[in-house]
Amino acid sequence: MNTTASLQTYHERIHQVIDYISEHLADEIILDDLASIACFSPFHFHRIFTSIIGETPHDFIERMRLETAANKLCTTPNKSVSEIAFECGYNSVSSFSRSFKKHHKLPPIKFLKAHIHDFHSIDTPEALLQTKDVDITSVEMVSVPKLHLAYVQTVIGYANGIPKAWDKLMQYAQKNNLISSQTLYIGVPYDNPGITPRLKCRYRACITVPESLILTKGEVKTFDFSASACCAKYHFQGGISDISNAYALVYGQWLPKSGYVPDGKPSIEIYPPELHREHCCNKMEYDIILPVIPL
């Protein structure tokens, strides 16, 4: 096996672990189980994960839980702190509150009061935040069918990771004749860059593919985005510096007044085909879609 193929195998195994962690935050996550998923011994897994991700498995899990909790606090006001704590894998509210305060510098309730309307831009540099008049009525309700998607995942942040993920995906898709006039180009931003460190945000570059195509190994894999009968759609137009404001509009202005809460699925972005041929820059136009349920 050559050096490139070996490195890809290591990254693929670690990405499988990251996917498992993100889907089991409410459960007890055991190091031996993660090592087994990655097909390494526990001793070597810890060192390999830490080297590739830049955090120990424990620190990574703790950060994901606390960032998920911060998002839930601000977007699901119908849930109590104890419910959110248990959903994020904590056995007691006291241990959750201590960890939350240590990570976010505020206890949960004070964090909610301080950031319920701006939580999507807490960690956004001032240079990217611009006051801009937006029309909140431009958010409309739509449904999204089940989507069978081929994807490339990145965990190195949106600015650097997104172009690289799309390059890899499109090279694979073109080589295997997966692009047609019916293809949808979809981004799945899993993390809120207002809370998650910007260089650690996870994203999937996706295209729709036939359901008969199943990919479980390699840099390109497939997964199903389940159908959502109720979604908020905001048609975004602007440059890179406007993206944070667009999400602040949807989450900070529209959502609290809408009578809806996020349903647990990530938001998705549906792009025109030309957007990723040019790797977006000054002028972009695409749909931000957030699956929701009644409050």
Tell me the average confidence (pLDDT) per consecutive run of 10 residues in the chain, 295 residues long. Answer: 80 95 96 96 94 95 97 91 97 96 96 86 60 66 97 93 94 96 96 91 97 94 96 91 85 87 92 72 86 92
Give the CATH number of domain 3-121: 1.10.10.60
pTM of the predicted model as reported, rounded to 2 decimal places: 0.89
CATH 1.10.10.60 residue ranges for the chain:
3-121
Structure tokens at 53: 């991700």
Unique residue bearing structure tokens 């301080």: 114
Using CA atoms, how far apart are residues 228 and 174, in angstroms rounded to an integer? 29
| Whole-number Cα distances in Å, 270 to 38, 174, 286 | 32, 19, 6
CATH 3.20.80.10 residue ranges for the chain:
137-294
Kindly report, residue by residue over 229-254, the tens digit of the pLDDT: 999 999 999 888 888 888 888 888 88
Length in residues, the chain: 295
* 291 membership: H or E segment, kind and range: strand 284-294
Backbone angles phi, psi at 174, to 5 degrees: -70, -40
Kindly report, residue by residue over 68-91, the tens digit of the pLDDT: 999 999 998 889 999 999 999 999
Give the CATH number of domain 137-294: 3.20.80.10
Kindly report, residue by residue over 187-200, the tens digit of the pLDDT: 999 999 889 998 99
